A and B are shown apart, each in its own frame.
Chain A
Amino acid sequence: MLKAPMLRAMTAVTALALVAGSAFAHHGWGSYDAAKPVTVEGAILTSKYENPHATVTVRSEGKVWTVTLAPTSRMSSRGASEKIVAVGKQVSAYGYPSTVTPDEMRAERITVDGKTYEMR
């Protein structure tokens, strides 16, 4: 009598806990093509040192790429401060192109002034 609804509810709560738990992990990067890595090299045109991800635009080989970086807290803790990704800096960004937004990529790592910063 008592057990069936209890069990049902507990199963549901467990499922909810799993859903909630995964929220701590970062959201998926499914819309980026990891099979076609690109390196975008050039001068930073615009820079947004913002959450949830910092982004810069970079002119590279006649194209303007939007390069998605990491959350600002992670970037600054790894030394990639706002000054490192400031407008005018020469950057080399290795990462994966978006399958949704043309000329957008998310960087695995960036190199500025000879120093490499991991974004993941």
Chain B
Amino acid sequence: MTEEAPAIFVALEQSGLGAAIRQSTWLFPVGNVGHILALMVFAGAIAIMDVRLLGGLAATAPGRVLMRARTVAIAALILQVATGFILFTADASHVIINPVFQIKLGLIAAGLINLAVFEFGVKRSVVKLSPGVAMPASAKAAGLLSIAIWLAVAACGRSIAYF
């Protein structure tokens, strides 16, 4: 199976870093637990943002709720990338050719594009809205897409082990 993976991923797995992760008693488990904890925090922050975009928590000022949750989501996402890199590096040549992992990468890209569209478009039309004002359709679409994409990412992540 190893020979199917692009050389760069074989090299990553066989690097000193890859060996260190595999040979350490705690690094891989810490990466594993950290990845899940970061996911929980990320999911919580994203859920608050998406619920607000969908029109829930209507009594709150959208700008404040969205921007605070956004800070938490970004921090958790960085932690997820870091811990994910640990898990990936240990077994890069197999994981990279795993179909579910490839779908997961595509979904993460979709999630980030959705985020960028929100960041540079939709956001402007919602952050200054007063509490109780209905959300525009574009905000609802962004919220719905977001929750759907990130749920699918989580489902794919867990499924890597089965394919």
Which residues of A come within 8 Å of B, CB atoms?
Answer: 1-2, 5-6, 8-10, 12-13, 15-17, 19-20, 22-24, 27-28, 30, 48-52, 71-73, 76
Q: Is the CB of A15 within 8 A of B22?
A: no
Q: Is the CB of A13 within 8 A of B27?
A: no
Residue pair A20, B47 in contact (C-beta under 8 Å): no
Interface residues of B in 134-159 (CB under 8 A from A): 140, 147-148, 150-151, 154-155, 157-158
B36 at the interface (CB under 8 A from A): yes
Q: Are A73 and B51 in contact (CB under 8 A)?
A: no
The verdict on B58 contacting chain A, using a C-beta distance below 8 Å, is yes
Contact B29 A73 (CB under 8 A): yes
A22 to B39, CA, bound (A): 13
In the complex, 11 of the A-B residue pairs with CB atoms within 8 angstroms, ordered by the A residue number, are A2-B55, A5-B55, A9-B50, A12-B151, A16-B47, A19-B151, A23-B36, A23-B39, A30-B162, A51-B27, A72-B25
* Chain B residue at smallest Cβ distance from A5: B54
User: Would you call B56 and A6 a contact (CB within 8 A)?
Assistant: yes
Task: Report whether A51 and B28 are in contact in the complex, using a CB–CB cutoff of 8 Å.
Answer: yes
CB <8 Å contact, A50 and B23:
yes
Please measure, in the bound complex, the distance between the C-alpha atom of A28 and the C-alpha atom of B159, giving whole angstroms: 10
Main secondary structure of the interface of A (DSSP, over half): helix
Are A73's CB and B162's CB within 8 A? no
Interface string of B1-39 (1 = CB under 8 A from A): 000000000000000000001111111110010001001
Q: Which of A19, A24, A51, A76 gathers the greatest number of chain B CB atoms within 10 Å?
A: A51
Contact A19 B162 (CB under 8 A): no
Task: Give the complex CA separation of A76 and B24 in angstroms.
Answer: 12
Q: Determine whether the beta carbon of B161 is less than 8 Å from that of A27.
A: yes
> Which residue of B23, B26, B154 is within 8 Å of A20 (Cβ)?
B154
Least CB distance from A114 to B in Å reads 26
Closest to A24 in B: B36
Which residues of the partner chain A approach B140 to less than 8 Å between Cβ atoms? Answer: 5
* B44 proximity list for chain A (CB < 8 A): 13
A9 touches which one: B28, B51, B58, B161 (CB < 8 A)? B51
**Known contacts A5-B55, A9-B54, A9-B147; is-contact A27 B47 (Cβ 8 Å):** no
Whether B51 contacts A20 by the Cβ 8 Å rule is no
Asked if B43 contacts A16 (CB within 8 A), the reply is yes
